[in-house]
Structure 1
Amino acid sequence: MAHIPVNHPARTLYRIFAALIGLYILIFGVVGVIQTWGEPLFDRGDTWVLGLRTNLAFALVSVVFGAIVLVGAAHRGNLGHFLNLGIGVVFMVTAIAMMAVLQTDANFLNFSMSTVIVSMIFGLLVLATGLYDKVGPAADAEAEQTYRQRAINNPEAGRRR
């Protein structure tokens, strides 16, 4: 059974990390759109923005995903929790897929290895935010804390079946 903490005390810190990542992605996308405007959408040129290689398609997608990550970080309810979980997985899957086609014509987002690494790190951080920013009633948080304490004190008694 999945274990996702409810009302974690560090959820504000995680949301700040997600907001910083979303802001970087949004700024990257906006600067990328400005620098690649007028080029073909899936150009395989040599345009670098904020340390990452890009084209117009990747810059436009970055604007959209940067805004979504910012919305997820700013939303205090469970919408942010689910957005961050989903976006984190999307970033990691995209990084792996683009790494698989890095040196081929299928690299339509013009990724470089540094872009793959940054996408993977951002995906892991946003996924971690999603894992720790679930919001629930105080009773659920208290029950979760009781379960954890019982599991620490007596590992056999705390095991769920």
Structure 2
Amino acid sequence: MAHFPVNHPARPLYRVLSGLIGLYILVFGVFGVFQTWGEGLFGRDSDWALGLRTNLAFSLVSVVFGAVLLVGASRRDNLGHYMNLTAGAVFLVTGILMMSVLQTSANFLNFSMSTVIVSLLFGLVLLATGLYDKVGTPEHAEEERQRRYHPIGER
């Protein structure tokens, strides 16, 4: 079973980072929807929003995903922890899959290499924030702190 630090002192910073990523994705999606409105859902045109290539489908998914990340970052319970872990994995897998079909007709989200890099970067940051933003009771956090700073040989 994996061990995640509980009540990490830098947890507010990690929540801000995941919130900023969620905000960027939401704003990117909104700009992308306005930029690509009226075109095909999976168009392969050269439409760019906030430095990333997009189409209507990718923009709509980004609006939903950005809103979900913002909700997760605003929660003070473990829902944000699980959402960040899941979102990090989704971004990493999506970035790798879209990189593998970048120059083919299977690039239905109209990714470019810059979109792949941003997706992988966001995935790593969200995965890291998910690793350190778990919430527990103060008693559990104190037990963990004592165990961490207590020498192994002494009891």
CA distance in 2: counterparts of 1:40 and 1:147, whole angstroms: 57
**Do structure 1's residue 3 and structure 2's residue 3 form an aligned pair?**
yes
**Equivalent residue runs for 1:104-143 within 5 Å:** 104-143=104-143
Q: Please, what TM-score do these two structures have when normalized by structure 1?
A: 0.92
Q: What's the counterpart of residue 74 of structure 2?
A: 74
1:72 Cα shift? 0.7
**Do structure 1's residue 28 and structure 2's residue 28 form an aligned pair?**
yes
CA distance in 1: counterparts of 2:41 and 2:54, whole angstroms: 10
Which amino acid letter does the alignment assign opposite residue 89 of structure 2?
V
**Equivalent residue runs for 1:29-108 within 5 Å:** 29-108=29-108
Which amino acid letter does the alignment assign opposite residue 79 of structure 2?
L
Q: Tell me which stretches of 4 or more aligned residues in structure 1 moved more than 4 Å.
A: none
Q: Cα deviations across residues 79-99 of structure 1 (Å, max 9, x unaligned)? A: 111111111111111001100
Which amino acid letter does the alignment assign opposite residue 113 of structure 2?
M
1:136 Cα shift? 0.5
CA distance in 1: counterparts of 2:143 and 2:29, whole angstroms: 43
User: 2:14 aligns to what SS in structure 1?
Assistant: helix
> How many equivalent residue pairs?
154
User: 2:48 aligns to what SS in structure 1?
Assistant: strand
CA distance in 1: counterparts of 2:60 and 2:8, whole angstroms: 34
Which amino acid letter does the alignment assign opposite residue 68 of structure 1?
V
For structure 2, which runs of at least 5 residues remain unmatched after alignment? none
1:147 Cα shift? 2.2
Cα RMSD (Å) = 1.3
CA distance in 1: counterparts of 2:109 and 2:64, whole angstroms: 15
Q: Please, what TM-score do these two structures have when normalized by structure 2?
A: 0.96
CA distance in 1: counterparts of 2:68 and 2:76, whole angstroms: 14
For structure 1, which runs of at least 5 residues remain unmatched after alignment? none
1:149 Cα shift? 1.7
Which amino acid letter does the alignment assign opposite residue 11 of structure 1?
R
1:132 Cα shift? 0.8
